[in-house]
Amino acid sequence: MAIISTADELFDSDVYVDLGHTLRIPLHLKCEGFNFAGSVKLRAATSMVASALRLGLIDEHSTMVESSSGNLGVALSVVAAARSLRFVCVTDPKCNPATVKLMRAFGSDVVVADRPDADGGYLTARKTLVRELCSRNSGYVWLNQYENPANWLAHYENTAPLIAKAGEPMPLVEATPMDEIVRVHERDSVRMCRRLARHGFLMGGSTGTVVSGAARWLERHDPAGALTSVAISADMGDRYIETVYDDAWVRSIYGDLDKEQEESNG
């Protein structure tokens, strides 16, 4: 039994979904959405805030600021509420309206960068607005997820050991940054999400990408299913009800994916 005192305390349910049973994919999916922020981003948020407090970069008089398109903003909102800190999330028009309402429900302020970058995106615009807010307000502190080592250290120190705790690393295997990059088309990500949902697993958009890419990799490299493989599901699918899981929205963007799937299977 897990007992926590504040909403930002991480507890791990140790839930893995064996996709071999339902989808015939030899893959175990580690579900990271079972916390009060609803995603794996709570790990990074907790780590960055704890690091900033420890280093004296923020205190009870500071206002944390971060750029986010969704999940990290919610996670930082949870941490800020749990620790009685102030938080401003700089997001953009692509952020799900329900996510914006969720951040505000936790007591955070949300500022929208409504003008896209020169290339049509919003990341640079969000970061520029963060810098402007910090320059105008002396108590504002940018956590800077893009360059903050506490972001990735959260997974190095916590996520990876949790996955590796039932086994022992091979002594002759050397760690490398990456062995291969698998690119997944957005259509395949959405299709996989909806395929998972038909078996009762309502997962976030990135999970469709991860599972689709992993399935392709395993089909090429492990056709016999000899490996024990694990992938991470970053969040659950409730925040994607009006997009990935909405038939009208999917048809307007991608056409009839269900029909395509039937034809490919037939």
Q: Which domain holds residue 145?
A: 41-150
83 and 20 in a common domain: no
**158 belongs to a structural domain:** no
Residue 135 inside a domain? The answer is yes
Query: Which residue, 109, 131, 150, sits at the end of a domain?
Result: 150
CA dihedral (147, 152, 154, 157) in degrees, to 10, reads -130
DSSP 240: G
Assigned domain for 217 exists: yes
261: domain CATH number is 3.40.50.1100
Residue 10 confidence (pLDDT) above 80: no
Residue 229 domain flag: yes
For the chain, the domain total comes to 2
Q: How distant, in Å, are the alpha carbons of 53, 66, 182 from that of 230?
A: 33, 30, 15
pLDDT at 167 over 60: no
The confidence band for 117, taking pLDDT boundaries of 50, 70 and 90, is: confident
pTM of the model: 0.83
**Statement to judge: residues 135 and 212 lie in one domain:** no
Confidence of residue 192 (pLDDT cuts 50, 70, 90): very high
Residue 171 has a pLDDT of: 44
Q: Which stretch of 179-183, 187-191, 233-237 has the lowest confidence by average pLDDT?
A: 179-183
State pLDDT tens for residues 129-140. Answer: 999 999 999 999
Average pLDDT score over residue span 189-216: 96
Query: Do the domain assignments include residue 155?
Result: no
